[in-house]
A and B are shown apart, each in its own frame.
Chain A
Amino acid sequence: MTAPPTRQSILRSLALAEPAELAAVLQRVAPEAPHTVVRGPETGLVMVRGRIGGGGAPFNAGEATVSRCVVRLASGEVGFGHVMGRDGTRARQVALLDALAQTPAHATAVAKAAVTLERDRLAREAGRAREVAATRVDFFTMVRGED
């Protein structure tokens, strides 16, 4: 059995999940968790950085839209949500699940949901990787008769 997911890895699974999956997880774990929104949801920009030559000095490649939200549960736990795109609802859902993951009552459920999301995402990506792999090409060189 793999190690239990960390807060960082849970947030990653939530951010990379399909919107419908994310909504379903929140619905399953705690649809009515009393909370207040501390900040947002708001949409802004994150400058995407690349590296010259792929591995050299950093440069600014362009921006991406990102939505973020911070929530506080009635029991005091604070959750952060950051997702690419302009969908503030997703950011709020991630923030709420992040907060719930810190409560004794819901920590296990959120961790388990994150593992499932991760498994489903890997399955999706593996499907795509198998389609790409079928386009693998072996070029060969014609030997010129001059040896």
Chain B
Amino acid sequence: MYVAVKGGEAAIANAHRLLAKDRRGDPAVPELTAVQIAEQLTLAVDRVMAEGSLYDPELAAIAIRQARGDMIEAIFLVRAFRTTLPRFGTSRPVDTGSMALARRISATFKDLPGGQVLGPTFDYTHRLIEEDLSAEPPATADPLGPAPRVTDVLGGEGLVEPDGQHGTAGGGGEEEPGDLTREATVPPLSRAVRLQALARGDEGWLLGLAYSTQRGYGRNHPFVGEIRTGVVELELDIPELGFAVTLGAMTLTECQMVNQFHGSATEPAQFTRGYGLVFGRVERKAMSMALVDRALRADEFGEDRVAPAQDEEFVIAHSDNVQATGFVEHLKLPHYVDFQAELELVRKLRAAAERDAARRGDADRDRQEAAE
């Protein structure tokens, strides 16, 4: 239990002033602008948007600057900001199949309709520090044709499961998915709510869990069916107008992970899928999300739930880094009354133990004397 304390106003105000001074750094160095961060630290911005669960690059950049580059603090700022806004509505489902692609690769199918493009990736770089990052103008080539999702071109032989539907396979309804920002998450969760939680979940947490599935904690040999990053348009139905208006465009990363499934009494052997969809260019997160999504579907496929990544309560309840940091970091706040109570208890226990020891000592002496 946390018991409130009072006081320290002057110290707190001074700490804030010192924080502001340290955040700014040497005044002789020009101050970073949010636009510079939004333009040049794009992957940091994307991570804050993804885990802040709010698409707004400019706002994420402002948060990163204010947080001195502490990503979880920046995510916290974004989450706090979103609670101040009303919700206007819910977009039409984005069509990732019609993405204007910045990157699209598959590790399972060499010759994809629409081709594979590496885009601006760190893959295949030598990971050598370069002190001078002067950019050459990029090469150009004739634009590619449309690139349907790999999973939409597959499935001819039914070797890969179809896209996830509500309830049983083939249900395919358009029912309202749950929304964890509006309702408490009580297990068992629907796959839709799990995906919402994973999409905003901590990248490091999901990466660790995804890695654990590859190291053998929960079987499922994964393949990257497809990773794509690109721009989609966001549309909202406006009742007054009677049609959907385009609100703007956003960058998303999608990952289709393909996993082995040996079949069951009712299902033939086929490949199953894990799905990842994240705001911005957050490929490691999208891959981790897809691996964890698949691991959490253990029950659907009658797989033994033996590993942490397959445990829905464990994975989802600990995936939110804002909640996690709040609970861990509150330990820094004064706990003097709690601790006093525990201290009293420890003293009582020790006193009792000493009394017992003394009594045992007397009894031993008595026995010894009697024996002599």
Contact yes or no, B55 A64, CB < 8 A: yes
CA distance A125 to B313 in the complex (A): 43
Are A62 and B243 also in contact (CB < 8 A) when A56-B163, A57-B192, A132-B101 are?
no
Interface size on B, residues (CB 8 A): 86
Contact yes or no, A85 B248, CB < 8 A: yes
Verify if B191 is at the interface (C-beta below 8 Å from A).
Answer: yes
Are A45 and B87 also in contact (CB < 8 A) when A86-B58, A133-B141, A137-B116 are?
yes
Which of A42, A44, A64, A133 is in CB contact (< 8 Å) with B140? Answer: A133
Contact yes or no, A62 B200, CB < 8 A: yes
Pick the most buried of A44, A64, A126, A136: most chain B CB atoms within 10 A of its CB.
A64
Are A47 and B89 also in contact (CB < 8 A) when A52-B192, A54-B152 are?
yes
Verify if B12 is at the interface (C-beta below 8 Å from A).
Answer: no
Which of A15, A54, A135 is in CB contact (< 8 Å) with B149? Answer: A54
- What residues of chain A lie closer than 8 Å to B196, measured between beta carbons? 59-62
Are A53 and B273 also in contact (CB < 8 A) when A60-B179, A63-B54, A132-B101 are?
yes
Which of A66, A137, A139 is in CB contact (< 8 Å) with B117? Answer: A137
- What residues of chain B lie closer than 8 Å to A60, measured between beta carbons? 90, 177-181, 192, 196
Contact yes or no, B236 A46, CB < 8 A: yes
Contact yes or no, B163 A16, CB < 8 A: no
Contact yes or no, B88 A45, CB < 8 A: yes
Contact yes or no, A82 B247, CB < 8 A: yes
Interface size class of A (residues with CB under 8 A): 35 or more
Contact yes or no, A49 B58, CB < 8 A: no
Contact yes or no, B141 A136, CB < 8 A: yes
Contact yes or no, A63 B164, CB < 8 A: no
Contact yes or no, A85 B88, CB < 8 A: no
- 70-88 of chain A: CB within 8 A of chain B: 80, 82-86
Verify if B261 is at the interface (C-beta below 8 Å from A).
Answer: no
Contact yes or no, B250 A84, CB < 8 A: yes
- What residues of chain A lie closer than 8 Å to B142, measured between beta carbons? 130, 133
Contact yes or no, B59 A86, CB < 8 A: yes
- What residues of chain B lie closer than 8 Å to A65, measured between beta carbons? 54-56, 59, 85
- What residues of chain B lie closer than 8 Å to A89, measured between beta carbons? none
Which of A62, A66, A135 is in CB contact (< 8 Å) with B199? Answer: A62
Verify if B322 is at the interface (C-beta below 8 Å from A).
Answer: no
- What residues of chain B lie closer than 8 Å to A50, measured between beta carbons? 93-94, 96, 195, 199, 252, 277
Contact yes or no, A54 B87, CB < 8 A: no
- What residues of chain B lie closer than 8 Å to A135, measured between beta carbons? 103, 117-120
- What residues of chain A lie closer than 8 Å to B100, measured between beta carbons? 125, 128-129
CA distance A115 to B40 in the complex (A): 32
Contact yes or no, B173 A54, CB < 8 A: no
Verify if B86 is at the interface (C-beta below 8 Å from A).
Answer: yes
CA distance A50 to B255 in the complex (A): 13
Chain B's nearest CB lies how many Å from the CB of A90?
10
Are A61 and B118 also in contact (CB < 8 A) when A56-B162, A84-B234 are?
no
Which of A7, A12, A48, A57 is in CB contact (< 8 Å) with B172? Answer: A57
- What residues of chain A lie closer than 8 Å to B256, measured between beta carbons? 53-54
Verify if B110 is at the interface (C-beta below 8 Å from A).
Answer: yes
- What residues of chain B lie closer than 8 Å to A133, measured between beta carbons? 117, 140-144
Contact yes or no, A46 B240, CB < 8 A: no
Verify if B186 is at the interface (C-beta below 8 Å from A).
Answer: no
Are A57 and B177 also in contact (CB < 8 A) when A47-B87, A132-B103 are?
yes
Q: 1/0 per position for B99-114, CB-CB distance to A under 8 A?
A: 0111101000010000
- What residues of chain B lie closer than 8 Å to A54, measured between beta carbons? 96-97, 149, 151-152, 163, 254, 256, 275, 277
- 15-74 of chain A: CB within 8 A of chain B: 15-16, 42-66, 68
Verify if B23 is at the interface (C-beta below 8 Å from A).
Answer: no
Across chains A and B, which 3 residue pairs bring their CB atoms closest together, nearest first? A84-B248, A56-B163, A53-B163
Binding site for A on B (CB under 8 A): 49-50, 53-56, 58-59, 82, 85-94, 96-97, 100-103, 105, 110, 115-120, 138-144, 149, 151-152, 162-166, 171-175, 177-181, 191-193, 195-196, 199-200, 233-234, 236, 238, 240-241, 243-250, 252, 254, 256, 273, 275, 277, 279
Binding site for B on A (CB under 8 A): 7-8, 11-12, 15-16, 42-66, 68, 80, 82-86, 125-141
- Listed by A's residue number, 11 A-B pairs whose Cβ atoms lie within 8 Å are A44-B85, A48-B94, A50-B199, A53-B256, A57-B177, A62-B279, A63-B55, A63-B87, A65-B85, A80-B238, A137-B118
Known: A8-B241, A45-B85. 20 other contacts (CB 8 A): A12-B245, A15-B245, A44-B88, A52-B275, A53-B164, A54-B254, A56-B162, A57-B165, A58-B93, A59-B177, A59-B195, A60-B180, A61-B199, A62-B53, A64-B247, A66-B88, A82-B245, A137-B117, A139-B116, A141-B110
